[in-house]
Amino acid sequence: MTTPDFSLLETVRLRRPLVHCVSNIVSAGDCANLALAAGASPVMAQAPEEMEAIAAASAAAVLNTGTPDEEKFQACLLRGQAGVRLGRPVILDPVGVGASPWRLERAEALLAAFTPSLLRVNLGEAQALLHQESQEQGVDSPAAGTPAQRAETARRLSRERGTAVLLSGAEDLVSDGDSLWKISGGSPRTAQITGTGCMLSVLCGVFAAVEEDILTAAVTAAAFWKACAHRAEALAGERGPGSFRAALLDAAGTLTAKDCARETQRL
């Protein structure tokens, strides 16, 4: 059974792996700060000209296609192919892929060019990739779906695309097409902050940089992020989303492996 392996947090903090992030103008700063807080060393770069060189130096890649343009999709394509060729983990986060036919078409082109190690999506994004009717409305308030619908969607997406899937939401689901792992906990306030999905994808890259089994890395990333959100809720109290946002980073920078294990057992 795949369970969170919080000893990976100690490995990350010891090795400080270089994690390459292609990011977006909304959450790039938060993503870099989260990678640092978790103990990794982020490199934020998205020029097609340097994807090959940065792939060679990085332990993992997180390709986030938010606020996209043609050049960024081109960079992601080159970077994804390089990562696969090198045998290193590539996380793909096709932000708001259902927002337009162009975005979907470009994301499909990526998936045709390489198979990522992990697809990190919310329900609306998964439905768009499955060409299902979606109730998605904006990247930050995706359709919730029933538990059964969500489980079926995660499994189907994994099978259709031949890759592991992390479908995030109030309950996160990780699937390899057959099995399904559920990660609960966290805080409903996570949905009130932009970029928390992008940040979860970065954590997947951080843990995948030190753990070969992508399912374990994804489950650990999800469980760590839920633990951070739960801690942040306690830290920020009723103060509001500005405080909760800072508290998420505080939690990520101070939670230990032991804290996370305790947090998860509590559930």
Residues in the site for a copy of itself, rule: CB under 8 A?
16, 18, 23-30, 32-33, 36-37, 41-47, 49-50, 52-54, 57, 66-71, 96, 99-103, 137-141, 192-195, 235, 238-243, 245-254
Q: CB burial class (10 A; 0-12, 13-18, 19+) of residue 129?
A: buried
What are residue 91's DSSP bridge partners?
62, 118
The DSSP result for 65-90, as a single string, is -SS--HHHHHHHHHHHHHHHHHT--E
14 or 213, CB closer to a copy of itself? 14
Q: Rounded to the nearest whole angstrom, what is the least distance from the CB of residue 259 to a copy of itself in the complex?
A: 12
The nearest distance, CB 211 to a copy of itself, in angstroms, is 19
Closest separation between CB of residue 247 and a copy of itself, Å? 6
Nearer to a copy of itself, 49 or 212 (CB): 49
Kindly provide the b/e burial profile for residues 38-75, where b requires at least 16 CB atoms within 10 angstroms of the residue's own CB. Answer: bbbbbbbbbeeeebeebbeebbbbbbbbbebeeebbbb
* Minimum distance from residue 242 beta carbon to a copy of itself (Å): 3
What's the first-to-final CA gap in the chain, in angstroms? 18
Please give the structure tokens belonging to residue 259.
Answer: 């804290």
* Sign of the Cα pseudo-torsion (11, 231, 263, 188, in order): negative
Residue (96 or 116) nearer to a copy of itself, CB: 96
Q: Decide whether 29 or 162 has the Cβ nearer to a copy of itself.
A: 29
Shortest distance (Å) from residue 132 CB to a copy of itself: 16
Q: Which of 210, 244, 208 is nearest to 228 (CA)?
A: 244
Nearer to a copy of itself, 139 or 174 (CB): 139
Nearer to a copy of itself, 184 or 254 (CB): 254
Give the span between the Cα atoms of 157 and 76, in whole angstroms. 20
Q: Shortest gap between Cβ of 81 and a copy of itself (angstroms)? A: 16
